[in-house]
Amino acid sequence: MLIRARAHAKVNLHLGVEAARPDGFHELATVFQSLNISDVVSLETLEDSTPAAMTTGPVVQELRASGTYAAGVPENDKNLAWRAVEAVADAVRGERELALPKVRLQLEKGIPAAGGMAGGSADAAAALRLAAHAFADFGAVSEEELLTLAARLGSDVPFTLIGGTALGTGRGEKLAPMLSRGTYTWAIITNAEGLSTPAVFAKIDELRAAGKGSHPTMDTSAVAQALMSGRPEALAKVLRNDLQAATLSLRPDLRKILDTGMAAGALTGIVSGSGPTCAFLCEDEETAGEVVAQVMFDNKGTRGIVTTSPAPGIEVI
């Protein structure tokens, strides 16, 4: 059996970050929106039900990454998608010592890796849904259970599972769908050099301890209101990312990218999540194309994608 799912990237329209909690995670108030940039995740179960095709141990045999952004994607059990399939297998087995089909995974990467766009999380969300499908004859995993497994895998995994537009609280895993009217056009600028999410969160703590960081902005009502208007100019005025100062302090080169994009006509530009990807909200596709061209011309190692939001969650195709 070969099944496939489309997994979408995300942008944080608002990212409010409080101080670190005792467990090391930061309390967030964030507005997620899915982007029409996607990976395709394929899950193949070894055919027939011979003992050789089944196992009571780890089920994933192989993971391969291909496509534009495959470089640097781990092809082993460090990959969240790999761990997602094993998590579903464990959930299906429960206390039973149950033989399940062995599995191969393929990731076609259209989402930049280590970019602050939840590419790895989206792959994991797709793998959760596909594995639940593939093992359905052996035991059901409820939607609620899938969301619990998703949250255990990573803070962004639950959102990439449901997609659309949502308010995320807790460490980002507690979700409430939000209304969003219309379509928004973006120029997304990726970077050859990735950035570590934990390093960015550590930097915001350091800046704040030195009295240099901004106060947490946990009120998301301005974004909620702008999304209901459906007007990109209204949304542009209220985009907010508390991590941006920390990201720019680690990567001062991004400042020039933000400036170039603004000069090229974007309504506004922000760092996406923990970065280094920058997201420019634009009035229309033509302007977004100009932003991409100008930024790529002026900044070595950047690549641009014109896209829209919102997009759906995991879709089996």
Question: Which residues have a catalytic role annotated?
Answer: 10, 156
- Which listed residue (155, 220, 294, 309) binds ligand C5P by CB under 6 A? 155
Q: Tell me whether residue 275 is annotated as binding.
A: no
Q: How far is CA 189 from the centre of its chain?
A: 15
The nearest distance, CB 158 to ligand C5P, in angstroms, is: 10
Comparing CB distances to ligand C5P, the nearer of 174 and 256 is 174
The pairing of strands 103-108 and 60-66 is parallel
Would you say 86 or 283 has its CB closer to ligand C5P? Answer: 86
Which residues are within 8 A (CB) of 283 and not within 5 positions of it... i.e. 6 or more apart?
Answer: 185, 232, 233, 265, 267
Residue 154 in the binding site for ligand C5P (CB under 6 A): yes
Q: From residue 100 to residue 139, what is the string marking binding to ligand C5P with x (rule CB under 6 A)? A: ----------------------------------------
CA–CA separation, 62 vs 197, rounded Å? Answer: 27
Query: Which residues in the 15-44 window bind ligand C5P by CB under 6 A?
Result: 25-26, 28
Distance in Å, CB of 290 to ligand C5P, minimum = 33
Query: Three-state SS for 201?
Result: helix
Q: Answer yes or no: is 119 a known binding residue.
A: yes
The Cα–Cα gap between 238 and 234 comes to 7
Q: How far is the CB of 207 from ligand C5P (least distance, A)?
A: 14
Instruction: List the one residue from 101, 158, 172, 276 that touches ligand C5P (CB under 6 A).
Output: 172
Helix (H, G, I), strand (E, B) or coil at 284: coil
CA-based end-to-end distance of the chain: 13
CA 263 to chain centre: 28
- To ligand C5P, the closest distance from the beta carbon of 171 in angstroms equals 3
Strand, helix or coil for residue 184: strand
The pair of three-digit structure tokens given for residue 255, joined into one six-digit string: 């400042």
Residues near ligand C5P, by CB under 6 A: 25-26, 28, 154-156, 171-172, 197-198, 201
- Annotated binding residues for ATP: 112-122
